[in-house]
Amino acid sequence: MIISGAIICDINGERYGDVQIENGVITAIGENLSGDEIIRADGCYLIPALVDTDVRLKDSQLNRTNLEKLSGRALSGGVGTVLLASDSIPRIDNEITLEFVQQHRYSKNGATIETAVSALNDSGALSNIAIMLKKGCLAVHTSTIQDYNLINRIAQYLKMAEKTLFYKAEDKSLFESGVISDGEIASQLGLPGISPMSEVVHIASMIEIARHFGIKVVFKSVTEPRSIELISQARKEGISVECEVAIHHLLKSDSACAGFDTDAKINPPLVSESKRLQLIDALKRGDIHSLTSLHQPNSDVHKDITFYDANVGTTSITEYLPLCYTYLIKNKIIDMTKLIGLASRTPAEHIGIKSGEITVGLSTNCIVFDPSKKTEVPHHHSLYKNEILEGKVMMAICRGEVTTF
């Protein structure tokens, strides 16, 4: 198969050319390549598939149907590899649950589903991290842990296995008492707010753990500009910490919650417009290292209720690449090469896989994206419902399998 005439774009930049793919591997890149099957992609981008490492299942329910639906929807949004967050129901903290996910790791015409292991089990005790990592979990995942004895033990496992800790910094006592970011919008709506300290103090604390043990920590879905400052300063001091931000916090502010729109109730909550603009500045500076769709869909029964009682989360992975293109690339905040670094290369590195390049000899996980087409957001419980986005995923080559949309 030859993909002809596309703009080949990866972390090394853009160039025009033809790409020949045989048995799922790129065998030639050049001009005017010939073969039995030629796919014309004039005006389209040919890019590495995105990698999303902060994804959840519908209603957090771990079952075959949800895994298969997630796989297909992820690929249609330009995502070739998904890392499933471990806080599902049931939690991914034991070999039986992991084996179930791995049985459905590869769905036809879908993205590859990988897993993180929960650092703690349902009872709050340390899970069998060493065994789970040996069985195929690619990272360790946890939200804030107050017990520093447990943190020390987790850090020791990470050091031994040379794996990344995905860390969601939040003060559960503050978070559970609020439903929206503290500020003007919360006051207008009469809703209890969540203090920014819920995130900042725990990031500061975990930076010191990373410094002491020499482990790599990726802070998940960071929203506070002060948190980004702390991470940036720590990196200058040689501490291996990185900042992930969800696209929602770059694209929307807490004003989206007006009218008690439960589709705008996400975790972490949307922040004020001034903070959103500071996050955009951080993205331009390079202080944000990876992006996520923060996909967390819910059934109507969990969204068509009061804002206070509604579940957190929104559906977004089906529109992930068009969202990034519409809001970030078309608005000249970043270019396509930078996006591939943020949404493919770096998150792949966090879980120990390779992505971000289109070069001879590599396995093919590629997306053909047409910037001249439109993508409608069909889901009625999306933060972007009723929007028409720029660009459309036309084709995906994942694990050697070709899928057209």
Residue 70 has pLDDT above 90, yes or no: yes
What is the predicted pLDDT for the residue at 355?
96
**Residue 173 pLDDT grade (very low, low, confident, very high; cuts 50, 70, 90):** confident
Give me the percent of the chain exceeding a pLDDT of 90: 93
What is the predicted pLDDT for the residue at 175?
63
pLDDT tens digits for 136-164? 999 999 999 988 899 999 999 999 999 99
What is the predicted pLDDT for the residue at 220?
98
Residue 176 has pLDDT above 80, yes or no: no
SS3 of the chain: CEEEEEEEEECCEEEEEEEEEECCEEEEEECCCCCCCEEECCCCEEEECEEEEEECCHHHECCHHHHHHHHHHHHHCCEEEEEECCCCECCCCCHHHHHHHHHCCECCCCCEEEECEECECCCCCECCHHHHHHCCCCCEEEECCCCHHHHHHHHHHHHHHCCEEEEECCCHHHHCCCCEECCHHHHHHCCCEECCHHHHHHHHHHHHHHHHHCCEEEECCCCCHHHHHHHHHHHHCCCCEEEEEEHHHHHCCHHHHCCCCHHHCCCCCCCCHHHHHHHHHHHHHCCCCEEECCCCCCCHHHHCCCCCCCCCCCCCHHHHHHHHHHHHHCCCCCCHHHHHHHHHHHHHHHCCCCCCCCCCCCECEEEEEEEEEEEECCCCCCCCCCCEEEEEEEEEEECCEEEEC
CATH 3.20.20.140 fits 48-357+374-388, yes or no: yes
Mean per-residue pLDDT for 284-303?
A: 97
Give me the percent of the chain exceeding a pLDDT of 70: 99
What is the predicted pLDDT for the residue at 148?
87
Residue 172 has pLDDT above 80, yes or no: no
Residue 174 has pLDDT above 70, yes or no: no
